[in-house]
Amino acid sequence: DSGVTQTPKHLITATGQRVTLRCSPRSGDLSVYWYQQSLDQGLQFLIQYYNGEERAKGNILERFSAQQFPDLHSELNLSSLELGDSALYFCASSVERALSGANVLTFGAGSRLTVL
């Protein structure tokens, strides 16, 4: 158990639907990152939040959005789902009290989304 909790573990839904993935960071970690891993794309960075504020954005589609709440948990919202959105979605957290390349990330076990 890495200390990063992601729910649900598995989710099956239909095209056009909307889902929410939830992440609870490791205790004491202020930053949350979201990554998408599909078979043909590898691990793609989506977005990062630090203490409630968006810090960095990657290849996140406009149909996707995220937020980090005051208790530091984060949610990734995926809407108007397409078949190609089927993937593993990972959340990671980091302490990052200061901006440093030495900060390491702790990943959760992921949420597997299947869009039919």
Partner 1 sequence: DAKTTQPNSMESNEEEPVHLPCNHSTISGTDYIHWYRQLPSQGPEYVIHGLTSNVNNRMASLAIAEDRKSSTLILHRATLRDAAVYYCILRDVVGEKLTFGTGTRLTIIP
Rounded to a whole number of angstroms, the minimum distance from the CB of residue 92 to partner 1 is 8
21 contacts partner 1 (rule: CB under 8 A): no
Q: Which of 65, 74, 78 is nearest to 25 (CA)?
A: 74
In three-state form (DSSP H/G/I as H, E/B as E, the rest C), the secondary structure along the chain is: CCCCEEECCEEEECCCCCEEEEEECCCCCCEEEEEEEECCCEEEEEEEEECCEEEEECCCCCCEEEEECCCCCEEEEECCCCHHHCEEEEEEEECCCCCCCCCCCEECCCEEEEEC
39 contacts partner 1 (rule: CB under 8 A): no
Which residues from 52-91 bind partner 1, rule CB under 8 A?
55-56, 58, 90
Q: Which stretch binds partner 1 (CB under 8 A): 15-23, 65-73, 77-85, 99-107?
A: 99-107
Q: What dihedral do alpha carbons 106, 67, 80, 45 form, nearest 10°?
A: -40
Q: Which stretch binds partner 1 (CB under 8 A): 14-22, 65-73, 74-82, 94-102?
A: 94-102
106 contacts partner 1 (rule: CB under 8 A): yes
Rounded to a whole number of angstroms, the minimum distance from the CB of residue 15 to partner 1 is 25
Rounded to a whole number of angstroms, the minimum distance from the CB of residue 7 to partner 1 is 14
Chain positions contacting partner 1, by CB under 8 A: 2, 4, 33, 35, 42-43, 45, 48, 55-56, 58, 90, 92, 99-110
